[in-house]
Structure 1
Amino acid sequence: MLSRRQLLASSAIGVVAGALPAAATNPPSRSAPNLFIGTGGHGHTYPGPTMPFGMVQLGPDTDVERWDACSGYHRTDTSIIGFSHTHLSGTGIGDLLDVLVAPGRGPVQLQRGTLDDPDSGYRQRFSGEHAEPGYYRVALENGVQAELSVTDRVGWHRYGFPAGPGHLLIDLSHLFADSRPSAPLIDAAWMDVDAAGTLTGSRRTFRWAKGRRIFFAMQLSRRPDRITFYGDGDAAQPPGTNRVAGRRLKAVLHYDDAGAAPIVVRCALSGVNAEGARANLAAEARSWNFDAVRGRAIRAWNAALGTVRVEGGTADQRTILASSLYHSQLAPTLFSDVDGRYPGLDGKTHQVRQGGAAFSTYSLWDTYRGQHPLLTLIAPDRAKMLVDDLIRQTAQSPYGPLVWPLQGKETGTMIGWHGVVPLAEAQAKGVPADYAAAWPAIRRRSFDFTAPDKENSLGRDLYDALGYVPADKVNESVSRTQEYAYDDWASAHLARAAGADAEAARLLARSANWRNVIDPAAGFARPRFADGTWWKAFDPILLGHMPKPDWRDYTEANGWQATFLNQHDIYGLIAHLGGDAKFEAKLDALFTAPSLLPESAPPDIAGLVGQYAHGNEPGQHVPYLYAFVGAPWKTQAMVRRLCTEMYRNDPDGIIGNDDCGQMSAWFVFSALGFYPVDPVEAAYVFGSPLFERAQVMLGGGRKLVIEAPGNRPETPYVAAVEWNGRPLTRSWIAHRDLVAGGALRFTMSSVPNKAFGRAPADRPPSSGRTPA
């Protein structure tokens, strides 16, 4: 596996918004997000402006070496290299940072310098940082005031220089290097300026997404007095040169009086070609009015963030909620031009139909769990566009279901082929789409063991033949077995939708393979060898049976955490581990075990409560599993604790990598009072709402109002639940009820109501059934 550091039920009918009680018609106010949450610690977010799901993610870069600066930015840094047009939010691998613009004064510096010695290069100390959705501003030490804003495909800069000469450096050699460069990093690049002054260019990079190509077209409100191009080795090109090609290129745009008037830069991107970048620029940059662009970006974000409004809680919690909602709507990122063209995963240029769009930056190992389900609630039109795109790109990719595609390249990062999960979820929730079009590629990945592989799908043949991936044959075998089984569960739904009933039955049977790596005698997910024996010297805190640091039996987890990876057959897991009482005790033990990890543990295993790791995705459904054994009051207590301890209104306010919004989406769901343990089940398990009142706009004029009157820190327990005025005794609610709109009311208490959700008939469904 490519490490991230290495390169349904109920039939009740909900009421529509117009039928809500009068008290529910007054919307709560909306708090402003803090875009610096997650920019410290290991959150890996960035504070620069982008549109919701926009192609351009413009922002400041402070470092390109440390893992904690995977986004190009870290809040603890004290100097800015410049402002680049693409960033990854919350990922554990660095890439992108395309087309850096660095405003300078005085002698031209061509090297960025170092964090320890900013004066050694063109980077600048800074002050007065301000960030809000769609806008960023900072004062650089050289006297330049920098402002940034965006449209979907165009980055907008406005630079105010002091009187006198100044320049803009365009650095195409800038990228995330992580101190471990591997040739070529950049193998081809060019820049060209035409007679009208439009600067175009391209580069092909080999960082994480190998062979990724980006094109740009840049215009300036004031034409420079001269342009100097620099080739490889920073070799200055002769005066009058209007084109340069090589690998690591730069251009300096000189202004004899840079301070005479603000310089506005508008730079469009394309993944197809320079003509596509020019067309994107022409379509989205029809004036030089920076403030109008800023205003449109702010209005777009006001609409996106207005989908969830809350009252109650603390001011910090309301800010965290708004910030989480913001981070949940950054990716996947738009990656088709205004004419619909985009680079396919098959290396060809494709075109979407009018009204459609292609996307990139699918962190699917993370986001299938909560971020995609959140979009089906708060942004159903966007979710529909993503489903159509997932189907289209699944059919086009030589690997079939998407794993972690980035700008036209399948990175294959992490394990499994979780692109099937948002499709199966959407199909289960009634999102109309041509799911059958994706089925041939899904069938190939599921059953054709000669089909091309990446690291994410190793051992598929052994998994099919033995019922598990053996630990002496394939790395991370225990996690692979369980995650492949979950993908089989999701794929079985898509097979049925395509009319492939025999394959659906085979997938459904194979989705039970998870049990073949959980030793009921030991009570843990445990490495199993090809001869059927278990690793004898097993310790659940260890990562693998081999001493080699690059060979593990689990993916960013250990035996404790992997024991509870199962999301789709929870009642089967409960029975496998000895029944309700033993399973509840096992959960208790998980949360109370010593928080010890081996020295070789990856930093992703973070945010420990006992051996539960909230800072990484594989276990984020686990606090909700108590509801499946009739003890939802324990879920309520733990979810409230996690909401208050793992998230803070602070740069170091996300306990692990935000992973394209999944950590944030968990908070949004849990703060509202429910979570999709298995998104394909199309049901939500109740937890503990954090606020007294919330309003969720569901699309189509529908509205969900959630009330928890008198909710306070000392009332984490749910005493009772009402749906549209009718008492609920069960500890869950179906998606089809919730999405219809209505009023969900929690009665909160300082003491648990152990009878609520206790009866087998009131427990959540799993694999389409309850234990009743």
Structure 2
Amino acid sequence: MISRRRFTALSAASLCSGVAKARSLGAIAKTYAASSESNYKVSQYVDIRIGTGGHGHCYPGATLPFGMVQLSPDTYNRGWDWCSGYNYSDSSIMGFSHTHLSGTGIGDMLDILVMACTGAVKTVPGTREHPEEGYRSRFHHEDERASPGYYSVLLSDYKITAELTATERTGMHRYTFPKNDESYLIVDLAHGYDDGPNVVRWSNLRVQGNDTLIGGKSTARWANGREIYFAMKVSRPFDSIEIFVDGHRVDNHSTELQGKSIQAVLHYKTSAQEKILMKTAVSGVDEAGAMKNLEAEAPHWNFDAVREQAAQTWEENLSRIRVDGGTLKQKQIFYTSLYHSLLAPTIFDDVDGRYRGMDGQNHTLETGEHNFSTFSLWDTYRAAHPLLTIVKPELIPAMMNCLIRMAEQSAMGMPIWPLQAKETKCMTGYHSAVVIAEAVAKGFPGIDLQRAAKVMRKEALESDVRGLPLYRENKFIPCDVFPQSVSVSLDYCYDDWAVSRVLRAAGDTETSIALEKRSQGYRNLYDKQTGFMRPRLKTGEWALPFAPNEMGHSKQWRDYAESNPWQATFAVQHDPAGLAELMGGRSALKSKLDGIFNASSELPPDAPPDITGLVGQYAHGNEPSHHIAYLYLYTDTPYETQPRIHSLLESMYDNKPDGLAGNEDCGQMSAWYVMSAMGFYMTDPTSGAYVFGSPVFDRITIATTQGRKFVINVTRSNADEVYIQSIDRSGHDYGKLWFTHDDLTSGTSFHIKMGSAPNRSLGADPVLAPPSASLHTQDVT
């Protein structure tokens, strides 16, 4: 079991050839648009600075939705707050690399760094304290410009303006130089996240003519052994080239160069305001794949055309949701959150359909399929994937089939946290099962249901990794045998429920019933005396000592994954009604919810840094808490969800670089805001049901399939009216505080009236409660 913190501590479619269009996400569907106003652009509200400071771990560079290339500046490449390679607190830039992670708590990537310089050649980056010692340059934030698909900055030390844009698999640079006889571009293959002496396993470089570099590398970092290949061209042939291999200059450039540290220096004499462009494609397959990607997606040197196409692609995606009303700040947070939610998963295939599989072999996709990477599943199953089913439904079957293929190819079975064809094994559970079960519950076509059932059944019943045999044997995982036992056990209960949903849909009723029963194993960890989920020894006894804000009973390891008993006690997303019954009833669940929000926020010294954004012991800065405020909907006072959600929306997000309460985590932190600001969320994605919260905006319009629109109209006298008074559906009183995915996709319209005091009866009848495993006879699909 790998904890992300423990690890850290130790296309332009109109410009592409036909083959590129066939493999372009942008070419799949462009029929979704919530706004018909041609001059109104929702992308104007995206503030890419948000999340680039504090602990957000976001990068500000150029990419497309789910793009394979993320071309962005690197200010530092070590330490937790530089997992994306950039932090707003820095004042110098090392260069611009082509692959980045968005918001993660472990660093990797930052491949193929390029920097534009003048003066004496320096082949090391220098330090943040003394950037002049290397090829770094100082910069000022007032000289940065960033918008979806574009980034620029003035490199102050060199008086060079750097501009970046991207297609799906390529990055394009444009550097405006001063007059200088000693201008150069440096390409550093040794650069990467935490680029210690043993991180690069191998790298190679070939020079073709006087304008092309081709190569690749393999690294031993988080995704240990991953390989990345590239093909790079410059618009102006270099006057000369120097290459350094493992610290030594190499004069013979006619053969492939190999080493663990390779730098290429492209020399130029530049005139004032001269522009030199570079375009780089990447591949996870081989150098030939990178060159095909380059030729297909960037066959020209029209930087402005690529930038405009990137902006248009982003506008098409962001405008699938139109919000009216609210403040400028709320719209900036909303659309920036939606932007962040569309950065991952990332495509990881070439324009010819080839991709590197989880078995380390190269494969070719069937027409219409895609391979993906960067599935931060422990985080994103909660809100990011549910949001993608709403805004990118055309990609869901391909993503699900990708997860199925990964499970078939990987020695680890069901995907956990796959990154560029490597299983990082990060975090607990195997929540790819939840993501697939959600898609099945929502009725997405094109998913190979029988293949999904086969790999999921095997994981649940046969897998011998990550504590699963202990779980199957004991119906919980003993804390004196396995780390993070409480969280792992609860995650496996939820995964059992998810697998049971898919097996039932696939016709395996017998196994489905068995797993439904096993998913109730969360009851084995609930201590009625203390009222918390607690670790148990292999003898069955409760482990001591115990405190609700502690991480566990032993100094050997934690019993909870990035959480504590307060947060883990509510980790029963598939069965809140059953949890309420276990606690003593709906009023007991309400009291426990009040308890977590009103508890002292004190944490022990060994608490992981992820437990941030505290309201009592509720921690919005990390994912295990994200559904908790919505659990009031399963109590006798469901209205209490509404002010809680409103308060979290206001207090945990800001339109500033440090505007996120914790790591952005590949879209999850942002997706929570998008969903909640629209007024609904999924406490259990496998149910296919959304629960109402407290909408921020006056009107929400979502473009769905076949030209339909899902609309929520909100009436309120002022922004302080956060309580739902009534919900009307098509002119009739709705009466419930939840709805289905079918309601959303069929073009339903809701009218919500808000007020300053709660409607205590709305949704309070237990018969009207949202779906729960203990009540799963409610068919919401």
Quick one: distance in 2 between partners of 1:519 and 1:482? 14
Q: Does the aligned pair in 1 maintain the 2:578–2:774 contact within 8 Å? A: no
Matching of residue 287 in structure 1 with residue 295 in structure 2: no
Matched, 1:251 2:259: no
Greater mean deviation of Cα atoms: 294-303 or 437-446: 437-446
Cα shift at 1:702: 1.5
Q: 1:758 aligns with which of 735, 751, 764?
A: 764
Shift of 1:771: 10
Q: Which residue of 2 aligns with 1:543?
A: 551
Q: Deviations over 1:534-561 (max 9, x none)?
A: 024211000010124xx10000000111
Does the residue aligned with 1:602 lie in a helix, a strand or coil? coil
Find the counterpart in structure 1 of residue 481 from structure 2.
Answer: 473
Conserved? CA contact 1:395–1:438, under 8 Å: no
SS in 2 for 1:262: strand
Q: 1:512 is matched with which residue?
A: 520
Within the alignment, does 1:493 sit opposite 2:501 as a pair?
A: yes
For the structure 1 residues 721 and 229, does the alpha-carbon distance in structure 2 shift closer, same or farther, using more than 3 Å as the test?
same
Corresponding residue for residue 634 of structure 2:
628
Could you tell me how far 1:259 is from its partner in structure 2?
4.7
Match in the other structure for 2:168: 152
Partner of 1:364: 377
Q: How many residues align?
A: 745
Change (3 A) 1:175 1:727: same
| Aligned residue in 2 for 1:645 | 651
Matched, 1:391 2:439: no
| Structure 1 residue 349: Cα displacement | 0.8
3-state SS of 1:421 partner: helix
Post-superposition offset of 1:601: 0.5
| Amino acid in the other structure paired with 2:435 | P
- Matched letter for residue 148 of structure 2: P
Alignment counterpart, residue 333 of structure 1, candidates 338, 341, 346 = 346
Instruction: Give the aligned partner of residue 407 of structure 1.
Output: 420
Distance 2:314 2:559 in 1: 42
**1:438-488 per-position Cα deviation (integer Å, ceiling 9, x unaligned):** 2332222212244xx3xxxx2211111111000111000000110001001
Which residue of structure 2 aligns with residue 5 of structure 1? Answer: 5
CA–CA distance in structure 1, aligned partners of residues 666 and 718 of structure 2: 30
**8 A Cα contact 1:691 1:711, kept in partner:** no
Among residues 138, 142, 148, which one is paired with 1:133 in the alignment?
Answer: 148
SS at the partner of 2:715? coil
The whole-number CA distance in structure 2 between the counterparts of 1:57 and 1:561 is 34
1:713 Cα deviation from its structure 2 partner: 3.0
Kindly indicate whether the alpha-carbon contact (under 8 Å) linking 1:215 and 1:272 is maintained by their aligned counterparts in 2. Answer: yes
Moved more, 384-393 or 157-166: 384-393
Give the TM-score of the pair, scaled to structure 2. 0.93
Partner residue of 1:66 out of 65, 76, 79: 79
Q: Matched residue of 1:203: which SS?
A: strand
The 3-state SS of whatever aligns with 2:501 is helix
For residues 180-199 of structure 1, the aligned pairs below 5 Å read: 181=196, 184-195=198-209, 197-199=211-213
Cα distance in 1 for partners of 2:511, 2:211 equals: 58
Q: CA deviation at 1:309?
A: 1.5
What's the secondary structure of 1:648's corresponding residue?
coil
- 1:524 paired with 2:532, answer yes
Q: What residue identity is the alignment partner of 2:184?
A: H
Give the match's secondary structure for 2:759: coil
Any gaps of 5 or more consecutive residues in structure 1? Answer: 8-22
Q: Determine if contact 1:194/1:242 at 8 Å carries over to the other structure.
A: no
After superposition, the Cα gap between the structure-2 partners of 1:238 and 1:536, relative to the gap in structure 1 and judged at 3 Å, is closer
Aligned-residue offset at 1:257 = 2.4
Moved more, 441-450 or 135-144: 441-450
For the Cα contact (< 8 Å) 1:90–1:658, is it kept in 2? yes
Partner of residue 707 from structure 1, selected from 713, 716, 725: 713
Instruction: Percent identity, please.
Output: 46
Distance 1:750 1:25, change over 3 A: farther
Per-residue deviation at 1:196? 6.2
Aligned-residue offset at 1:275: 0.2
Structure 1, residues 356-377: CA drift from partner, whole Å, max 9, x if none?
Answer: 2100000000101111111111
Say whether the 8 Å CA contact 1:730–1:761 is kept in structure 2: no
Of the candidates 60, 84, 97, which is equivalent to residue 47 of structure 1? 60
Q: Is the 8 A contact 1:173 1:249 kept in 2?
A: yes
Is 1:36 the counterpart of 2:55? The answer is no
Change (3 A) 1:25 1:303: closer
- Measured in 1, the distance between the counterparts of 2:603 and 2:347 equals 39
Gap change, CA 1:535 and 1:392, over 3 Å in 2: same
Matched, 1:661 2:667: yes
Give the whole-Å Cα distance in 2 for the aligned partners of 1:666 and 1:300. Answer: 23
CA contact under 8 A between 1:36 and 1:47: conserved in structure 2? yes
Change beyond 3 A, Cα 1:24–1:259: closer
Contact 1:362–1:404 (8 Å) recurs in 2: yes
* Letter in structure 1 aligned against 2:571: L
Partner of 1:14: none
Quick one: distance in 2 between partners of 1:444 and 1:701?
40
C-alpha separation in 2, matches of 1:173 and 1:58: 17
Does residue 176 of the first structure (1) align with residue 182 of the second (2)? no
Residue type of the alignment partner of 1:49: A
**What's the C-alpha RMSD, in Å, of the aligned pairs?**
1.7
- Which among 744, 747, 751 is matched to residue 745 of structure 1? 751
In the TM superposition, what is the alpha-carbon distance from 1:709 to its structure 2 partner? 2.1
In structure 2, what is the equivalent of residue 226 of structure 1? 240
Partner of 1:211: 225
Question: Which residue number in structure 2 is paired with residue 603 of structure 1?
Answer: 609
The alignment status of 1:264 with 2:285, answered yes or no, reads no
Q: CA deviation at 1:235?
A: 0.8
- What SS does structure 2 have at the residue aligned with 1:485? helix
> Once structures 1 and 2 are overlaid, which stretch shifts more, 278-287 or 491-500?
491-500
Quick one: which amino acid aligns to residue 139 of structure 1?
L
Specify the code of the residue in structure 2 equivalent to 1:2. Answer: I
Q: 1:378: Cα distance to partner?
A: 1.2
Q: Deviations over 1:242-294 (max 9, x none)?
A: 53211111100111226573111000000000000000011011111000000
1:201 and 2:201 correspond: no
Contact 2:347 2:372 (8 Å CA) reproduced: yes
Q: How far is 1:185 from its partner?
A: 0.8
CA displacement 1:136-184 (0-9 Å, x = unmatched): 0100011100000000000000000001230000000101118xx4x62
How far is 1:640 from its partner? 0.3
Q: Deviations for 1:474-511, whole angstroms, at most 9, x for unmatched residues?
A: 00000011000100100111222333222222211111
Is 1:564 aligned with 2:581?
no
Deviation at 1:744, TM superposition (A): 1.5
Moved more, 627-636 or 149-158: 627-636
Match of residue 30 from structure 2? none
Query: What are the residue-to-residue correspondences of 1:567-606 with 2, within 5 Å?
Result: 567-606=573-612
Cα deviation per residue 1:164-209 (whole Å; 9 max; x = unaligned)? 230000000101118xx4x621111000011363210100001100
Runs of 4+ deviating beyond 6 Å: 23-29
**Equivalence for 1:11:** none
1:723 alignment counterpart: 729
Indicate the SS of the match to 2:775: coil
* Per-residue deviation, 1:239: 5.7
* SS of residue in 1 equivalent to 2:403: helix
1:687 Cα deviation after fit: 0.3
C-alpha displacement at 1:241, in angstroms? Answer: 5.0
Q: After TM superposition, give the deviation of residue 722 of structure 1 in Å.
A: 1.2
Whole-angstrom distance in 2 between the partners of 1:164 and 1:25: 49
Distance of aligned partners of 1:290 and 1:63 in 2 relative to their CA distance in 1, 3 Å threshold: same
- Distance in 2 (alpha carbons) for counterparts of 1:573 and 1:160: 62
**Counterparts of 1:612 and 1:171, CA distance in 2:** 44
* Aligned residue number for residue 697 of structure 2: 691
| Local SS of the residue matching 1:440 | helix
Q: CA deviation at 1:24?
A: 10
Q: Deviation of residue 236 (structure 1)?
A: 0.6
Q: Tell me, yes or no, if the aligned pair for 1:229 and 1:241 is still in contact at 8 Å.
A: no
